[in-house]
């Protein structure tokens, strides 16, 4: 009898516990509905020690650091660290202010010093071009200069070029001090410049001799495909029977624009495709219209990204001869997402592949005819090389004349 009474009391206690637990869940769900709570969640394969240490370090710093600590700042640093630990210079977390600057519409006008740049193999921001009439050109900055400091701040630990560029740009008429390392002299140079509105022309064309058209693309900006078509048509109308396309020192630019230009040149077929880690493939194709006059393309080690997409498609379809040096080898695709509070994340999502299935990341595009300019002109802008001294251009002219003669037989 006593055992039955104990058993009954146990059942009653269990039922009471169930009722209270259910009521607690209901109350918790209502509370969260009215006042949403955000949690940090991890996958099961994350070690228990890391989760404990994450919270412990936060608590230690909040309670024991010698100065008062902003908890939001700690959390933002942890977010930034998630991007930095991937050791990918193209994956970066942006604060709200940085994101605002990054998302400003790219145009031919901006306030700065007038250079294009890229991150080299050592993650140093390197000058790939200086523009005529710009503060950088007038001060004596040259291709190949490594930007080490901006206004006295060491920027060599910053892996994203956009974050350094934001420090260089500013208000028209304000001063900026740039310290560079120049490899050719193995020394540092300090440039003091005044920021100004830079009016850039990313495309330049002219006739060489009576039958060769020359088009230089310095960057693939938002309207370049329209401009490219106009320049090529004018050259053909002026008597051009062959075109030299100069992509040297072109760091890339707008993906849509380079696809459109490639569509004008190559025959119907695949231009480029991207593939993510799950094997999802996105293809961009050209129509049946194509450029039907001889073409040579100038490339060098500073030709990157969109320049490589275009030159690879031209080479693989046999639409032109590539002349110069192997390109930079940037074949990664980034996506940008907005986060809460105006922050943002740029991260690598896939790789580029040429029509034949080659990923150019870390490899680049090799020329059909390899030729190097004299060492003394290695760090010169294209337009600064004295007339008659550009070996690569001379080779391209010789090749285009051969192609013109072969077509007209």
Whether 225 is a known active-site residue: answer no
List phi, psi (to 5°) of 326: -60, 140
Torsion over CA: 64, 68, 70, 76 (sign):
negative
State how far the Cα of 146 lies from the Cα of 132, in Å rounded to an integer: 19
Closest by Cα among 297, 292, 304, 290 to 321? 297
184 with 379: CB under 8 angstroms? yes
Contacts of 60 (CB under 8 A, 6+ apart): none
Which entry of 257, 305, 307, 350 is annotated as an active-site residue? 305
DSSP class of 284: E
Which entry of 303, 330, 346, 392 is annotated as an active-site residue? 330
Whether 392 is a known active-site residue: answer no
Q: At CA 281, angle to CA 279 and CA 283, rounded to 5? A: 165
Q: Which H helix or E strand runs over 127? A: strand 125-130
State how far the Cα of 281 lies from the Cα of 279, in Å rounded to an integer: 6
State how far the Cα of 232 lies from the Cα of 216, in Å rounded to an integer: 11
Contacts of 295 (CB under 8 A, 6+ apart): 242, 243, 244, 245, 265, 314, 319, 320, 321, 400, 403
List phi, psi (to 5°) of 170: 175, -145
State how far the Cα of 107 lies from the Cα of 198, in Å rounded to an integer: 10
Which entry of 58, 100, 149, 334 is annotated as an active-site residue? 334
Helices and strands, number each (H, E), in the chain: 10, 19
Q: Token digits for 144?
A: 């190949």
State how far the Cα of 215 lies from the Cα of 234, in Å rounded to an integer: 11
Whether 334 is a known active-site residue: answer yes
Closest by Cα among 340, 350, 351 to 93? 340
* Beta bridge partners of residue 226, listed in sequence order: none
Instruction: Show which residues are catalytic.
Output: 305, 330, 334
């Amino acid at each position: 009898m006593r055992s039955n009474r104990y058993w009954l009391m146990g059942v009653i206690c269990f039922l009471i516990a169930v009722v209270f637990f259910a009521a607690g869940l209901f109350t918790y769900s209502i509370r969260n509905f009215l006042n949403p709570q955000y949690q940090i969640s991890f996958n099961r394969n994350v070690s228990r020690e890391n989760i404990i240490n994450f919270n412990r370090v936060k608590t230690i710093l909040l309670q024991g650091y010698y100065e008062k600590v902003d908890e939001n700042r700690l959390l933002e640093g942890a977010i930034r660290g998630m991007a930095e630990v991937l050791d990918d210079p193209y994956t970066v977390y942006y604060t709200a202010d940085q994101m605002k600057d990054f998302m400003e519409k790219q145009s031919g006008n901006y306030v700065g010093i007038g250079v294009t740049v890229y991150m080299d193999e050592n993650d140093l921001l390197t000058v790939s071009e200086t523009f005529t009439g710009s503060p950088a050109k007038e001060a004596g900055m040259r291709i190949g200069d490594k930007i080490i400091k901006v206004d006295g701040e060491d920027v060599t630990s910053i892996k994203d070029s956009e974050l350094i560029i934001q420090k260089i740009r500013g208000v028209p008429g304000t001063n900026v001090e740039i310290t560079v390392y120049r490899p050719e002299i193995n020394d540092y140079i300090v440039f003091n410049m005044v920021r100004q509105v830079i009016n850039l022309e990313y495309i330049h064309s002219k006739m060489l001799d009576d039958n060769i058209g020359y088009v230089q693309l310095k960057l693939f900006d938002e309207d370049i495909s329209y401009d490219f078509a106009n320049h090529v048509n004018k050259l053909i109308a002026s008597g051009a029977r062959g075109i030299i396309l100069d992509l040297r020192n072109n760091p890339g630019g707008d993906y849509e624009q380079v696809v459109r230009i490639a569509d004008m040149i190559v025959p119907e077929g695949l231009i480029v495709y991207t593939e993510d880690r799950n094997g999802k493939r996105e293809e961009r194709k050209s129509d049946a219209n194509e450029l039907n006059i001889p073409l040579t393309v100038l490339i060098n080690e500073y030709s990157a990204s969109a320049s490589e997409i275009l030159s690879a498609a031209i080479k693989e379809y046999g639409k032109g001869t590539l002349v110069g040096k192997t390109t930079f080898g940037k074949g990664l695709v980034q996506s940008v997402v907005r986060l809460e509070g105006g922050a943002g994340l740029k991260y690598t999502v896939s790789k580029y592949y040429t029509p034949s299935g080659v990923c150019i990341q870390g490899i680049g595009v090799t020329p059909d005819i390899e030729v190097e300019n004299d060492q003394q002109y290695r760090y010169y802008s294209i337009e600064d090389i004295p007339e008659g001294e550009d070996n690569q251009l001379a080779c391209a002219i010789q090749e285009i004349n051969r192609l013109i003669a072969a077509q007209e037989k």
